[in-house]
Amino acid sequence: MALDVYLTNACNLHCKYCFNMEREDAPRIPLKDICNILETAYQNGHRYVSITGGEPFLYKKIFEVIEFAHNLGFWINILTHGGLFNQEKVDKLKKYWRLRVRISLDGPNSQTHDLLRGTGTFNNTINKIKLLVSNGINVGIGVTISEDNLSSMDRMFTLCLENKVNFVRFTPVARVKKGKSANITESLHITLLQKIIELTLANKDKVELSTNPTKDTTISINALTTRRCMAGKLFFGVTPDKKILPCPLLIENKDIGTRIFKNQTSFDAIKLQMDKLFTEIKPQLEGICQNCEFNSVCYGGCLAEKLSFDRKLQSEQPICTKKILEALNHQYAKKDIEQLIASWLTQMRSSLEDDSVHACMRHSPFWNVNFKMTNEWKQKYQ
């Protein structure tokens, strides 16, 4: 079970496709309140928390939040643009062994990255990645893919290898708020997934892959792509004003309510609401989802994806990842694709978010590439 905590909407950058606010004076959640929420979530079974914003390092008490979450037992993922790191902050992170940092980097050079994140940000971000890596912090890169940088994926992959990060995650722009201006199409998804597969297979000696290939790739793809959205069931977002959301990408939809956090009943109310919503949607599904053999377990897929394309909740999924992966499945050597899909399944099943019924499409393992551990990391984690 997972939780996304937005400590603040404040950010000192003005990224092109950000779905959050970008005021440096934006509200911050009080420390006492976020600790109360974290403790309640942990008691409810949550074990994985992403700490983000805005820019989380504009939150003055972020290390107190990290300390509290780590002491509870959470595995922590910090999502940041990385620009505010310095040696003092990095030294403070070293003791948290259940923590990793994902830094947003959207291009292999300043021409591409700065266009999306702001002038001068590329060099600063690269320097901060090197600082984290040299200090033994578990760090990876998150790349938000759009038409602006789709053609740069090869160079981004090389940059990740050169800088010895532990993982890279490529995901399409979320078409929420400023992201609405992005032209996100099925063609972009196809090219993106195709490129992830090709880069992984071309660098098998450098990435973590399963040693037990799957025997049936079709069944495995179904397992990866046909679970009900986990929003409001096993996944919640928490805003700086203490709103509990079933998913951060659903924040502005009038048909999907939120709750101001009070206690455990706030999470319970969202769970009941989302169960009711999916139950009502299922018999009304339209288009390709109406006749799909998996609609009884998939319930029509990602709600945020539908709403981002201004569709109804019962509309068909605008971009069906299952269909894309089924088509790509036959484009590669059988042995290679069996190994890769087995690796995705292994990653999903070993995740703290894993559930036999629910999953999040944007958290799916096929967007990720995990690089092989260095000897230093093996000694630390094995």
Asked whether residue 291 is assigned to any structural domain, the reply reads: no
The answer as to whether 308 is a domain residue is no
Q: What is residue 347's predicted lDDT score, i.e. its pLDDT?
A: 93
Asked if residue 367 has pLDDT above 60, the reply is yes
For residues 359-379, average pLDDT: 82
Paired residues of 101 in beta bridges: 78, 139
| In a domain? residue 259 | no
Structure confidence by residue, pLDDT tens digits, 246-287: 998 887 677 787 899 999 999 999 999 999 999 999 999 999
> Mean pLDDT, to the nearest integer, of 162-185?
87
In this structure, the number of other CB atoms found within 10 A of the CB of residue 309 comes to: 13
User: Is 97 part of a structural domain of the chain?
Assistant: yes
Q: How many Cβ atoms from other residues are within 10 Å of residue 174's Cβ?
A: 21
Are the beta carbons of 112 and 156 closer than 8 angstroms? no
Contact between 302 and 229 under an 8 Å Cβ cutoff? The reply is yes
Q: How far apart are CA 109 and CA 187, in angstroms?
A: 25
Give the pLDDT confidence score for residue 251 in this predicted structure: 73
Residue % of the chain over a pLDDT of 70: 95
| Amino acid sitting at position 310 | D
Helices (H) and strands (E) in the chain, counts: 15, 12
The pLDDT tens digits for 189-244 are 999 999 999 999 999 999 999 999 998 999 999 999 999 999 999 999 999 999 99
In the prediction, which pLDDT does 18 show? 79
- CATH label of the domain that carries residue 8: 3.20.20.70
d(CA 33, CA 26): 17
Locus of tokens 């009304």: 284
Residue at 317: amino acid letter: Q
Return the higher-pLDDT residue of 152 and 184: 152
Average pLDDT of the chain, as a whole number: 92
pLDDT of residue 21: 52
pLDDT of residue 375 exceeding 60, the answer is: no
Work out how many domains the chain is built from and give that number. Answer: 1
Neighbours of 241 (CB within 10 A): 14
Distances (CA, A) of 292 to 108, 309, 322: 40, 21, 11
Nearest 10 degrees: CA dihedral of 358, 315, 283, 363?
A: 0
CA-atom Rg of the chain in angstroms: 20
Residue 128 structural domain: 2-228+333-381
pLDDT for 175 equals 76
Cα dist from 366 to 212, 228, 235, 251, whole Å: 17, 17, 19, 26
**Is residue 181 pLDDT above 90, yes or no?**
no
Sign of the torsion formed by the C-alpha atoms of 168, 172, 176 and 181:
positive
Check pLDDT > 80 for residue 376. Answer: no
The pLDDT value given to residue 129: 98
The pLDDT-based confidence of 374 (bands split at 50, 70, 90) is: low
**Which residues are CB-contacts of 28 (< 8 A; sequence separation ≥ 6)?**
7, 8, 10, 59, 60, 240
How many residues can be counted in the chain?
Answer: 382
What's the rounded Cα separation, in Å, for the pair 194 and 331?
9
Residue-level pLDDT at 256: 84
DSSP string, 206-266: TB---SS--S-HHHHHHHHH-SEE-BTTTEEEE-TT-EEES-GGGTT-TTS--EE--SHHH
CA distance linking residue 297 with residue 330, whole number of Å? 25
At which residue do the structure tokens 């722009």 appear?
Answer: 173
59-116 pLDDT per residue, tens = 999 999 999 999 999 999 999 999 999 999 999 999 999 999 999 999 999 999 999 9
Strands 243-245 and 259-260: antiparallel
